[in-house]
Amino acid sequence: MEYIKKQVEEFDIGKRHLANMMGEDPENFTQEDIDRSIEYLFPSGLFEKKARPLMKHPDQVFPKQRAIQWGEDRRPFHFLFYTGKQSYYTLMHVSTAGSRKSPSSFQNASSPLLPPRVISYSDRHSLSASRWLKKEELEELLVENISIQDYNRFIQLMESLLSMPYCTIEEEFVLRYRQNLEAQSRKQAMPVLERDERGVAFSTADGRRKTSDSTVTLRDCGSGRITINGRDYLQYFPVLQDREQLMFPLQFMGMLGRFDLECTVSGGGRSSQAGALRLAISRGLLSFLSDGEMENMRQAGLLTPDPRVRERKKPGQKKARKKFTWKKR
């Protein structure tokens, strides 16, 4: 413990020194500033991010360890020490029958004529906007290793807690073991909606897929014309599949005949150009849509750039995955 305290002091002093070196205010020097300065002072060409020079708070660097669990007489402090997973079993015990008042006692306390209110998930916003902690996160919280069966048991217990009546009382307790889902309204970078001289609203967006780059300008004129690199899209994409890719974002939103598209695309092959255009169209469409529709598009996968790139060929193999003929001898 003293070691860690010493490390913390050293870290604070080092932080102030660093701030002075960079010429910034030592009082308001955040972790991001530290990272920036270290990257500037010690530029590293290593690919692995974890191998680069690091300066973080000792709590994040040193793994959490338990202090010695027994005293001078070598008797353990905790009554569940000999189970091996003391914090896990304490948690289980507390959730079932522990120090809190049981919900059934509440029911008896109030008038028995009242029907128990079973509160479902959909009623409560806090529960619908969060998820259970994962196994790794629970291990981190309890500072000890849990097996998969233990974890499943824990989740089962929590679920049964929630299904009981009057569970709003334990809501606060339960919320400790839930993690908020941030991604509900994750903000996408929306392109700007501009207006040109005639008053027509238009927006420009980019898209990329597997070495193809594309730029699309959507104009809200009211006809369904599409021009790609100056040519008609029927000429440019003779294959139906590519044109279907282009159609997908507009059809999904039901805005087929509304926009005029002016596109440029370069690089890649036929399919990747179509994919790049699709992404650019969906991004351009964002500025014409409401938030709910944007969420729909995101869940449909229209706004996600496809990360698949060509895999490199490896030495000792014919292609990326294909191996040479295997000879037994």
Per CB under 8 A, the list member of 9, 137, 232, 291 interacting with another protein is 232
Per the CB < 8 A criterion, the answer to whether 88 and 142 are in contact is yes
Whole-angstrom Cα distance, residue 51 to residue 314?
24
For position 229 contacting another protein by CB under 8 A, the verdict is: no
Q: Is 270 in the site for another protein (CB under 8 A)?
A: no
Quick one: which of 92, 119, 247, 289 contacts another protein (CB under 8 A)?
Answer: 247
Could you tell me the two tokens for 83?
């189970």
Indicate the residue among 175 and 239 with the shorter CB distance to another protein: 239
Residue 92 binds another protein (CB under 8 A)? no
Interface stretch with another protein, choices 32-40, 84-92, 99-107, 233-241 (CB under 8 A): 233-241
Q: What span, in angstroms and rounded, lies between the C-alpha atoms of 278 and 296? A: 16
**Among 147, 223, 299, 317, which residue sits at the site for another protein (rule: CB under 8 A)?**
223
* Candidate list 88, 166, 202, 233; residue touching another protein; CB under 8 A: 233
Going by C-alpha positions, the residue among 305, 229, 232 that lies closest to residue 267 is 229
User: What is the nearest approach in angstroms of another protein to the Cβ of residue 235?
Assistant: 5
Distance CA 34, CA 41 (A): 10
Decide whether 94 or 256 has the Cβ nearer to another protein: 256
Range in contact with another protein (rule: CB under 8 A) among 118-126, 148-156, 223-231, 297-305:
223-231
If one asks whether residue 4 binds another protein (CB under 8 A), the answer comes out as no
In the numeric block, which tokens belong to residue 311?
């895999």
| Residues 214, 277 contacting (CB under 8 angstroms) | yes
Site size for another protein (CB under 8 A) = 19
The Cα–Cα gap between 176 and 277 comes to 44
Structural tokens at position 263 = 């596109």
Helix (H) or strand (E) holding 154: helix 148-163
Stretch that binds another protein, among 81-89, 157-165, 209-217, 231-239 (CB under 8 A): 231-239
CA-to-CA distance for 256 and 253, rounded, in angstroms?
8
Per-residue interface string for the shown chain with another protein, residues 250-269, x marking contact by CB under 8 A: xx--x-xxx-----------
Rg for the chain, CA atoms, rounded: 29
Across 84-211, where does the E strand assignment appear?
130-132, 178-180, 194-195, 201-209
Give yes or no for residue 224 binding another protein (CB under 8 A).
Answer: yes
Binding mask 158-187 for another protein (x = CB under 8 A): ------------------------------
Cα(244)–Cα(277) distance, rounded to whole angstroms?
11
12, 39, 244, 291: which one contacts another protein (CB under 8 A)? 244
The distance of closest approach from Cβ of residue 198 to another protein in the complex, given in angstroms and rounded to an integer, is: 15
Total residues found in the chain within this entry: 329
Q: How far apart are CA 280 and CA 161, in angstroms?
A: 47
What residue ranges in 181-252 does DSSP mark as E strands?
A: 194-195, 201-209, 212-219, 226-228, 231-232
Which residue, 173 or 252, has its beta carbon nearer to another protein? 252
274 belongs to the binding site for another protein (CB under 8 A)? no
Minimum CB separation of residue 231 from another protein in Å reads 9
**Should residue 88 be labelled a site residue for another protein when binding is judged by CB under 8 A?**
no
Q: Does 94 bind another protein (CB under 8 A)?
A: no
Question: Under the rule (CB under 8 A), what is the footprint of another protein?
Answer: 222-226, 232-235, 240, 243-244, 247, 250-251, 254, 256-258
